Amino acid sequence: MLNRGITGIAYETVQDGEGRLPLLAPMSEVAGRMSVQVAMRFLETDYGGRGVLLSGVPGVPPADVVILGCGIVGFNAAKIAVGLGAHVTMLDINHNRLKYIDDVLHGNVITVYSNPVTVQRAVSYADVVIGAVLLAGARAPVLVTEKMVSQMKPGSVIIDVSVDQGGSVETTRPTTHAEPVYKLHNVIHYGVPNIPAAVPRTSTYALTNAVLPYIRTMASKGLRKAAEEDSALALGINLAQGVLTNEAVAAAFGMGWKSWQDMA
């Protein structure tokens, strides 16, 4: 890419002042909502699960869904799980986030401050565990150990949405849409990194919605002016005119770099 003199903007480094990644957010929304949909499927007997209906019926309790992380992925998973009538527990260490969820979901979820004890307890009664702890630019912390997994109910399901950042469950590893799951300790593990690919129509619209405003601005003002006015966009420029412009990438590859502002 450098040889061809391409100017490249990476979705995952466009970042606004509050650390949000506006071009990845829509995919996180889709992934969070899909994670519950996937979990429902693998709870069915034909798919190897416990044979449990997530929503229950009158007289038969619903499934227990435990969501690790209250970010975009976790919150969207919760919206769906709550809507289905599941019994939902969410864990996080960000009190402001727990508070907002409590405001908006009106006591329909149980929010728990996350620590090893509360994670262990929640996982032990879960029918579904959704790993949704993502740290920007870092490996996801491993919250669920193999020992915890080994004590889960047989036929329960783990969906680890953070698998492409190392996973927040010790026993998850990346899988594919073709072979999405494997069993370990009699627990179904789902580790497809690109969940939104299952619903491309929705995902494409969602992604395009996010990207379009940047493209419009670049088209009308040119990249330089657009980036000067929008620091989020500026952070996205990884290479320009054949030169690396992202310090971290340069460091990773042992190459030199130059700030794009310093280029002609």
Q: Is 100 helix (H, G, I), strand (E, B) or coil?
A: helix
**Counting contacts by CB under 8 A, is residue 78 touching a copy of itself?**
no
Return the residue of 6, 212, 215, 248 that touches a copy of itself, per CB under 8 A: 212
Number of residues binding to a copy of itself, judged by CB under 8 A: 66
Task: Tell which residue, 18, 37, 42, 138, has the closest CA to residue 81.
Answer: 37
**Counting contacts by CB under 8 A, is residue 93 touching a copy of itself?**
yes
Question: Which amino acid, one-letter code, is at 263?
Answer: M
9: CB partners within 8 A, 6+ apart: 233, 236, 237, 238
Tokens 């669920």 belong to residue = 144
**Counting contacts by CB under 8 A, is residue 1 touching a copy of itself?**
no
**Counting contacts by CB under 8 A, is residue 219 touching a copy of itself?**
no
User: In whole angstroms, how close is the CB of 40 to a copy of itself at the nearest point?
Assistant: 5
Return the residue of 14, 21, 24, 34 that touches a copy of itself, per CB under 8 A: 34
Contact at 8 Å (CB) between 214 and 225?
no
DSSP string, 125-187: H-SEEEE----TTSPPP--B-HHHHHTSPTT-EEEETTGGGT-SBTT-----SSS-EEEETTE
What's the DSSP call for residue 70? -
Binding mask 180-199 for a copy of itself (x = CB under 8 A): -----------------xxx
Retrieve residue 241's tokens. Answer: 């005119």
Please say which residue, 136 or 197, places its beta carbon nearer to a copy of itself.
Answer: 197
Residues that bind a copy of itself (CB under 8 A): 22, 25-26, 29-30, 33-34, 37, 40-41, 43-46, 50-62, 76, 79-80, 82-85, 87, 89, 93, 95, 98-99, 101-104, 106-108, 110-113, 115, 177, 197-203, 205-206, 209-210, 212-213
